[in-house]
Structure 1
Amino acid sequence: MTDVPTFRYHPDPVATGEVITSDDPCRCCGRRQGFIYTGPVYSAEEVVEELCLWCIADGSAATLFEAEFTDVVNVPDDVPQPILTEVLTRTPGFSSWQQERWMFHCADAAAYLGKVGYEELVVVPEALEMLREENAPFPWSDEQREAYLRTLTPTGEATAYLFRCLHCGTHLTYADHA
Protein backbone atom coordinates (compact mmCIF):
# COMPACT_ATOMS: atom_id res chain seq x y z
CA MET A 1 0.00 0.00 0.00
CA THR A 2 1.32 3.43 -0.93
CA ASP A 3 1.41 6.52 1.23
CA VAL A 4 -1.48 8.84 0.47
CA PRO A 5 -0.92 12.30 -1.05
CA THR A 6 -0.62 15.26 1.29
CA PHE A 7 -3.51 17.72 1.44
CA ARG A 8 -2.89 21.11 3.01
CA TYR A 9 -6.52 21.63 3.98
CA HIS A 10 -7.42 18.03 4.93
CA PRO A 11 -4.22 16.65 6.46
CA ASP A 12 -5.46 13.13 7.25
CA PRO A 13 -8.48 12.06 5.16
CA VAL A 14 -7.97 8.43 6.20
CA ALA A 15 -8.23 9.29 9.93
CA THR A 16 -11.28 11.53 9.36
CA GLY A 17 -13.08 8.61 7.72
CA GLU A 18 -13.45 10.17 4.28
CA VAL A 19 -11.20 7.52 2.74
CA ILE A 20 -11.29 3.74 3.08
CA THR A 21 -8.83 1.05 2.13
CA SER A 22 -9.98 -0.61 -1.07
CA ASP A 23 -8.64 -2.64 -3.96
CA ASP A 24 -11.20 -1.08 -6.31
CA PRO A 25 -9.83 0.79 -9.31
CA CYS A 26 -10.16 4.56 -9.53
CA ARG A 27 -12.75 5.61 -12.09
CA CYS A 28 -10.52 8.49 -13.18
CA CYS A 29 -7.08 6.87 -13.63
CA GLY A 30 -7.99 3.16 -13.53
CA ARG A 31 -5.27 2.34 -10.99
CA ARG A 32 -5.76 0.39 -7.78
CA GLN A 33 -4.07 2.64 -5.22
CA GLY A 34 -5.31 0.91 -2.06
CA PHE A 35 -7.58 3.78 -1.00
CA ILE A 36 -10.91 5.11 -2.25
CA TYR A 37 -12.46 8.46 -1.34
CA THR A 38 -15.92 8.12 0.26
CA GLY A 39 -16.74 11.78 0.83
CA PRO A 40 -19.01 14.04 -1.21
CA VAL A 41 -18.58 14.62 -4.94
CA TYR A 42 -20.64 17.42 -6.46
CA SER A 43 -20.87 16.63 -10.16
CA ALA A 44 -23.52 16.31 -12.86
CA GLU A 45 -22.44 12.67 -13.14
CA GLU A 46 -22.86 10.39 -10.12
CA VAL A 47 -19.46 9.44 -8.71
CA VAL A 48 -19.69 7.45 -5.47
CA GLU A 49 -16.68 5.76 -3.86
CA GLU A 50 -14.83 5.57 -7.17
CA LEU A 51 -11.94 8.05 -6.89
CA CYS A 52 -8.42 7.71 -5.59
CA LEU A 53 -6.74 10.44 -3.58
CA TRP A 54 -4.06 10.94 -6.24
CA CYS A 55 -6.66 12.01 -8.82
CA ILE A 56 -8.19 14.39 -6.29
CA ALA A 57 -4.78 15.81 -5.36
CA ASP A 58 -3.68 16.54 -8.92
CA GLY A 59 -7.08 17.91 -9.96
CA SER A 60 -7.68 15.30 -12.66
CA ALA A 61 -10.85 13.96 -10.98
CA ALA A 62 -12.31 17.47 -10.72
CA THR A 63 -11.46 18.14 -14.35
CA LEU A 64 -12.76 14.83 -15.74
CA PHE A 65 -16.05 14.94 -13.86
CA GLU A 66 -16.38 18.73 -13.57
CA ALA A 67 -16.57 18.04 -9.85
CA GLU A 68 -16.09 19.77 -6.54
CA PHE A 69 -15.53 17.93 -3.27
CA THR A 70 -17.02 20.42 -0.87
CA ASP A 71 -19.33 23.38 -0.85
CA VAL A 72 -18.04 26.71 0.38
CA VAL A 73 -20.34 29.45 1.65
CA ASN A 74 -19.70 32.69 3.49
CA VAL A 75 -16.13 32.94 2.25
CA PRO A 76 -14.39 36.04 3.62
CA ASP A 77 -13.47 38.60 0.97
CA ASP A 78 -9.77 38.35 1.82
CA VAL A 79 -9.49 34.66 0.81
CA PRO A 80 -7.80 34.45 -2.62
CA GLN A 81 -9.48 32.53 -5.44
CA PRO A 82 -6.62 29.99 -5.82
CA ILE A 83 -7.22 28.88 -2.22
CA LEU A 84 -10.93 28.37 -2.92
CA THR A 85 -10.06 26.40 -6.05
CA GLU A 86 -7.72 24.15 -4.07
CA VAL A 87 -10.36 23.48 -1.41
CA LEU A 88 -13.12 22.86 -3.95
CA THR A 89 -11.27 20.78 -6.54
CA ARG A 90 -8.05 19.35 -5.05
CA THR A 91 -8.97 18.63 -1.43
CA PRO A 92 -11.07 15.73 -0.14
CA GLY A 93 -14.28 17.01 1.37
CA PHE A 94 -16.12 15.63 4.37
CA SER A 95 -19.62 14.36 5.01
CA SER A 96 -21.88 16.13 7.47
CA TRP A 97 -25.47 15.77 8.58
CA GLN A 98 -26.64 18.89 6.78
CA GLN A 99 -24.60 20.88 4.28
CA GLU A 100 -20.93 20.93 5.18
CA ARG A 101 -19.20 24.28 5.74
CA TRP A 102 -15.51 24.83 5.23
CA MET A 103 -14.04 27.20 7.80
CA PHE A 104 -11.70 30.13 7.01
CA HIS A 105 -9.31 32.16 9.15
CA CYS A 106 -6.36 34.51 8.58
CA ALA A 107 -7.27 35.00 4.88
CA ASP A 108 -6.94 31.27 4.21
CA ALA A 109 -8.93 28.06 4.42
CA ALA A 110 -8.50 26.18 7.67
CA ALA A 111 -7.40 22.54 7.90
CA TYR A 112 -10.21 20.07 8.51
CA LEU A 113 -9.33 17.82 11.46
CA GLY A 114 -12.46 15.69 11.71
CA LYS A 115 -15.72 15.07 13.50
CA VAL A 116 -15.67 15.67 17.23
CA GLY A 117 -17.94 15.66 20.22
CA TYR A 118 -18.16 17.56 23.47
CA GLU A 119 -15.41 15.49 25.12
CA GLU A 120 -12.94 16.36 22.35
CA LEU A 121 -13.98 20.02 22.37
CA VAL A 122 -13.32 20.47 26.09
CA VAL A 123 -9.57 20.43 25.32
CA VAL A 124 -9.96 23.14 22.64
CA PRO A 125 -11.84 25.85 24.55
CA GLU A 126 -11.83 28.43 21.72
CA ALA A 127 -13.72 25.96 19.51
CA LEU A 128 -16.23 25.20 22.25
CA GLU A 129 -16.74 28.92 22.81
CA MET A 130 -17.31 29.35 19.07
CA LEU A 131 -20.17 26.84 19.31
CA ARG A 132 -21.64 28.67 22.29
CA GLU A 133 -21.61 31.92 20.28
CA GLU A 134 -22.99 30.21 17.16
CA ASN A 135 -25.94 28.90 19.16
CA ALA A 136 -26.47 32.14 21.12
CA PRO A 137 -29.19 33.50 18.77
CA PHE A 138 -31.42 30.53 19.56
CA PRO A 139 -34.01 31.20 22.25
CA TRP A 140 -32.21 28.82 24.61
CA SER A 141 -31.23 29.37 28.18
CA ASP A 142 -27.55 28.91 29.04
CA GLU A 143 -28.45 25.54 30.55
CA GLN A 144 -30.22 24.41 27.36
CA ARG A 145 -27.27 25.53 25.24
CA GLU A 146 -24.82 23.59 27.42
CA ALA A 147 -27.12 20.54 27.39
CA TYR A 148 -27.12 20.63 23.57
CA LEU A 149 -23.32 20.95 23.42
CA ARG A 150 -22.97 17.94 25.72
CA THR A 151 -24.96 15.83 23.22
CA LEU A 152 -22.29 16.32 20.55
CA THR A 153 -20.42 13.13 19.63
CA PRO A 154 -18.23 12.25 16.64
CA THR A 155 -20.67 9.56 15.50
CA GLY A 156 -23.99 10.67 16.98
CA GLU A 157 -26.96 12.58 15.67
CA ALA A 158 -25.37 15.87 16.78
CA THR A 159 -21.77 16.32 15.65
CA ALA A 160 -19.18 19.08 15.56
CA TYR A 161 -16.62 19.55 12.78
CA LEU A 162 -13.19 20.74 13.90
CA PHE A 163 -10.75 22.89 11.91
CA ARG A 164 -7.44 24.58 12.72
CA CYS A 165 -6.07 27.79 11.22
CA LEU A 166 -2.81 27.06 9.40
CA HIS A 167 -1.36 30.45 10.36
CA CYS A 168 -2.27 31.21 13.97
CA GLY A 169 -3.38 27.77 15.18
CA THR A 170 -6.85 28.88 16.28
CA HIS A 171 -9.35 26.05 16.37
CA LEU A 172 -12.68 26.61 14.62
CA THR A 173 -15.81 24.53 14.63
CA TYR A 174 -19.47 24.32 13.83
CA ALA A 175 -22.09 21.73 14.69
CA ASP A 176 -25.10 20.23 13.03
CA HIS A 177 -27.47 17.36 13.61
CA ALA A 178 -29.62 14.84 11.82
Structure 2
Amino acid sequence: MPADEEGLPQFPYHPDPVGTGSVVAAAVVCACCGRRRPFTYVGPVYAVEELARVLCPWCIADGRAAAMFDAQFTDASWRVSDGVPADVTELVLRRTPGFVGWQQEQWLHHCRDAAEFHGPVGANELAAFPDALEHLRLKVAGSGWSADDKDWYLQALSKDGPVTAYLFRCRHCGSHLAYSDST
Protein backbone atom coordinates (compact mmCIF):
# COMPACT_ATOMS: atom_id res chain seq x y z
CA MET A 1 0.00 0.00 0.00
CA PRO A 2 1.42 3.45 -0.86
CA ALA A 3 2.55 5.50 2.13
CA ASP A 4 -0.07 8.20 1.56
CA GLU A 5 -2.88 5.64 1.84
CA GLU A 6 -1.67 4.17 5.13
CA GLY A 7 -3.47 4.94 8.33
CA LEU A 8 -1.38 6.11 11.24
CA PRO A 9 -0.22 3.40 13.63
CA GLN A 10 -2.02 3.04 16.94
CA PHE A 11 -0.24 4.22 20.09
CA PRO A 12 -1.91 2.89 23.24
CA TYR A 13 -0.39 5.64 25.41
CA HIS A 14 -0.76 8.52 22.95
CA PRO A 15 -4.02 7.87 21.06
CA ASP A 16 -4.07 11.08 18.99
CA PRO A 17 -0.52 12.27 18.28
CA VAL A 18 -1.75 14.48 15.43
CA GLY A 19 -4.29 16.16 17.71
CA THR A 20 -1.66 16.79 20.39
CA GLY A 21 0.81 18.18 17.85
CA SER A 22 3.47 15.48 18.26
CA VAL A 23 2.91 14.24 14.70
CA VAL A 24 2.16 16.55 11.79
CA ALA A 25 0.90 15.99 8.25
CA ALA A 26 4.14 16.83 6.48
CA ALA A 27 5.91 14.52 4.05
CA VAL A 28 9.28 13.18 5.15
CA VAL A 29 11.75 10.63 3.91
CA CYS A 30 12.18 8.77 7.18
CA ALA A 31 15.77 8.54 8.43
CA CYS A 32 15.00 5.06 9.75
CA CYS A 33 13.04 3.19 7.04
CA GLY A 34 13.99 5.39 4.08
CA ARG A 35 10.38 5.57 2.88
CA ARG A 36 8.58 8.77 1.98
CA ARG A 37 5.82 9.10 4.57
CA PRO A 38 2.92 11.58 4.77
CA PHE A 39 3.39 12.24 8.50
CA THR A 40 6.40 13.41 10.52
CA TYR A 41 7.14 13.10 14.21
CA VAL A 42 8.00 16.54 15.66
CA GLY A 43 8.31 15.73 19.36
CA PRO A 44 11.48 15.22 21.38
CA VAL A 45 14.08 12.61 20.45
CA TYR A 46 16.72 11.60 22.97
CA ALA A 47 19.56 10.12 20.91
CA VAL A 48 23.14 10.87 19.91
CA GLU A 49 22.08 11.70 16.34
CA GLU A 50 20.10 14.85 15.51
CA LEU A 51 16.73 13.39 14.52
CA ALA A 52 14.41 16.40 14.62
CA ARG A 53 11.58 16.07 12.08
CA VAL A 54 13.10 13.12 10.19
CA LEU A 55 11.27 10.13 11.69
CA CYS A 56 7.94 8.67 10.71
CA PRO A 57 5.43 7.49 13.31
CA TRP A 58 5.48 3.95 11.85
CA CYS A 59 9.15 3.49 12.81
CA ILE A 60 8.41 4.78 16.30
CA ALA A 61 5.42 2.43 16.70
CA ASP A 62 7.24 -0.73 15.65
CA GLY A 63 10.40 0.09 17.59
CA ARG A 64 12.74 0.35 14.59
CA ALA A 65 13.65 4.00 15.25
CA ALA A 66 14.49 3.29 18.90
CA ALA A 67 16.56 0.25 17.95
CA MET A 68 18.41 1.85 15.03
CA PHE A 69 19.32 5.07 16.85
CA ASP A 70 19.18 3.90 20.49
CA ALA A 71 16.53 6.59 20.81
CA GLN A 72 13.88 7.45 23.36
CA PHE A 73 10.95 9.77 22.75
CA THR A 74 10.34 10.69 26.38
CA ASP A 75 13.11 11.49 28.84
CA ALA A 76 13.76 8.57 31.18
CA SER A 77 14.18 10.86 34.20
CA TRP A 78 10.45 11.02 35.04
CA ARG A 79 9.34 9.10 38.11
CA VAL A 80 7.59 5.83 37.39
CA SER A 81 4.97 4.81 39.94
CA ASP A 82 5.55 1.64 41.94
CA GLY A 83 3.98 -1.41 40.36
CA VAL A 84 4.19 -0.19 36.75
CA PRO A 85 5.77 -3.02 34.74
CA ALA A 86 9.14 -2.33 33.12
CA ASP A 87 7.76 -3.27 29.69
CA VAL A 88 5.17 -0.47 29.99
CA THR A 89 7.90 2.05 30.76
CA GLU A 90 9.92 0.74 27.81
CA LEU A 91 6.89 1.08 25.51
CA VAL A 92 6.37 4.72 26.57
CA LEU A 93 10.06 5.59 26.25
CA ARG A 94 10.87 3.84 22.98
CA ARG A 95 7.66 3.18 21.02
CA THR A 96 5.37 6.09 21.89
CA PRO A 97 5.55 9.64 20.51
CA GLY A 98 6.61 12.05 23.22
CA PHE A 99 5.41 15.61 23.64
CA VAL A 100 6.99 19.00 24.18
CA GLY A 101 6.53 20.84 27.47
CA TRP A 102 8.00 24.00 28.95
CA GLN A 103 10.28 22.21 31.39
CA GLN A 104 10.97 18.50 31.70
CA GLU A 105 8.06 16.42 30.43
CA GLN A 106 6.53 13.81 32.72
CA TRP A 107 4.44 10.79 31.81
CA LEU A 108 1.72 10.19 34.39
CA HIS A 109 0.58 6.79 35.69
CA HIS A 110 -2.57 5.38 37.24
CA CYS A 111 -3.82 1.89 38.10
CA ARG A 112 -0.30 0.43 37.75
CA ASP A 113 -0.02 1.50 34.11
CA ALA A 114 1.10 4.51 32.13
CA ALA A 115 -1.78 6.85 31.33
CA GLU A 116 -2.80 8.03 27.86
CA PHE A 117 -1.50 11.47 26.92
CA HIS A 118 -4.27 13.74 25.62
CA GLY A 119 -2.38 16.97 25.11
CA PRO A 120 -1.71 20.39 26.55
CA VAL A 121 -4.66 22.16 28.17
CA GLY A 122 -5.44 25.47 29.79
CA ALA A 123 -7.90 26.43 32.52
CA ASN A 124 -10.80 26.55 30.03
CA GLU A 125 -10.18 23.02 28.71
CA LEU A 126 -9.36 21.67 32.17
CA ALA A 127 -12.78 22.79 33.46
CA ALA A 128 -14.30 19.87 31.51
CA PHE A 129 -12.18 17.41 33.53
CA PRO A 130 -12.84 18.07 37.24
CA ASP A 131 -10.87 14.98 38.27
CA ALA A 132 -7.79 16.27 36.43
CA LEU A 133 -8.26 19.71 37.95
CA GLU A 134 -8.43 18.16 41.43
CA HIS A 135 -5.28 16.13 40.68
CA LEU A 136 -3.55 19.36 39.71
CA ARG A 137 -4.88 21.19 42.79
CA LEU A 138 -3.34 18.50 45.00
CA LYS A 139 0.03 18.96 43.28
CA VAL A 140 -0.14 22.75 43.64
CA ALA A 141 -1.21 22.42 47.31
CA GLY A 142 2.30 21.31 48.23
CA SER A 143 3.96 24.24 46.48
CA GLY A 144 4.27 26.50 49.52
CA TRP A 145 2.46 29.28 47.64
CA SER A 146 -0.23 31.44 49.18
CA ALA A 147 -3.87 30.57 48.46
CA ASP A 148 -4.10 33.59 46.12
CA ASP A 149 -1.00 32.50 44.20
CA LYS A 150 -2.36 28.97 43.84
CA ASP A 151 -5.67 30.30 42.51
CA TRP A 152 -3.88 32.66 40.12
CA TYR A 153 -1.69 29.83 38.83
CA LEU A 154 -4.63 27.50 38.13
CA GLN A 155 -6.59 30.30 36.42
CA ALA A 156 -3.53 31.31 34.36
CA LEU A 157 -3.21 27.88 32.76
CA SER A 158 -3.24 28.26 28.99
CA LYS A 159 -3.00 25.60 26.30
CA ASP A 160 -0.55 27.76 24.34
CA GLY A 161 0.67 30.11 27.05
CA PRO A 162 3.60 30.25 29.46
CA VAL A 163 1.73 28.24 32.14
CA THR A 164 0.37 24.99 30.71
CA ALA A 165 -1.22 21.80 32.01
CA TYR A 166 -0.86 18.39 30.36
CA LEU A 167 -3.88 16.08 30.36
CA PHE A 168 -3.72 12.30 30.78
CA ARG A 169 -6.40 9.62 31.10
CA CYS A 170 -6.13 6.30 32.91
CA ARG A 171 -6.54 3.41 30.48
CA HIS A 172 -8.24 1.28 33.15
CA CYS A 173 -10.58 3.39 35.30
CA GLY A 174 -10.95 6.43 33.01
CA SER A 175 -9.75 8.96 35.60
CA HIS A 176 -8.21 12.12 34.19
CA LEU A 177 -4.88 13.37 35.55
CA ALA A 178 -2.83 16.46 34.89
CA TYR A 179 0.43 18.11 35.74
CA SER A 180 1.58 21.60 34.87
CA ASP A 181 4.72 23.55 34.17
CA SER A 182 5.72 26.99 33.00
CA THR A 183 8.42 28.93 31.24
- The normalised TM-score by structure 1 is 0.97
* Contact 1:71/1:102, CA 8 A, preserved across alignment: no
User: 1:20: Cα distance to partner?
Assistant: 1.1
User: 1:141: Cα distance to partner?
Assistant: 2.4
Moved over 3 A (4+): none
Alignment partner of 1:45 out of 45, 49, 52 = 49
- Report the Cα distance in structure 1 between the residues aligned to 2:28 and 2:12, rounded to whole angstroms: 25
Amino acid at match of 2:58: W
**Range with bigger deviation, 141-150 or 93-102:** 141-150
**Range with bigger deviation, 131-140 or 43-52:** 131-140
- Report the Cα distance in structure 1 between the residues aligned to 2:100 and 2:9, rounded to whole angstroms: 20
- Which runs of 5 or more structure 1 residues have no equivalent in the other structure? none
- Report the Cα distance in structure 2 between the residues aligned to 1:16 and 1:82, rounded to whole angstroms: 24
More helix by proportion, 1 or 2? 2
Aligned to 2:38: 34
**Range with bigger deviation, 75-84 or 165-174:** 75-84
Q: Does 1:65 align with 2:64?
A: no
User: 1:23: Cα distance to partner?
Assistant: 1.8
- Report the Cα distance in structure 2 between the residues aligned to 1:32 and 1:21, rounded to whole angstroms: 12
Aligned to 1:7: 11
Q: Does 1:139 align with 2:144?
A: yes
Structural mapping, 1:39-118, within 5 Å: 39-72=43-76, 73-118=78-123
Amino acid at match of 2:72: E
Deviation digits for residues 140-176 of structure 1, max 9, x if unmatched?
2222211111111111011000000000001011000
User: 1:138: Cα distance to partner?
Assistant: 2.3
- Report the Cα distance in structure 2 between the residues aligned to 1:76 and 1:156, rounded to whole angstroms: 29
- Report the Cα distance in structure 2 between the residues aligned to 1:140 and 1:23, rounded to whole angstroms: 46
User: 1:137: Cα distance to partner?
Assistant: 2.1
Amino acid at match of 1:35: F
Instruction: Provide the aligned length of Structure 1 versus Structure 2.
Output: 178
- Report the Cα distance in structure 2 between the residues aligned to 1:99 and 1:60, rounded to whole angstroms: 25
- Identity rate of aligned residues, in percent? 52
User: 1:33: Cα distance to partner?
Assistant: 1.5
Alignment partner of 1:151 out of 147, 156, 161 = 156
Amino acid at match of 1:60: R
- Which runs of 5 or more structure 2 residues have no equivalent in the other structure? none
User: 1:44: Cα distance to partner?
Assistant: 1.4
- Report the Cα distance in structure 2 between the residues aligned to 1:107 and 1:76, rounded to whole angstroms: 7
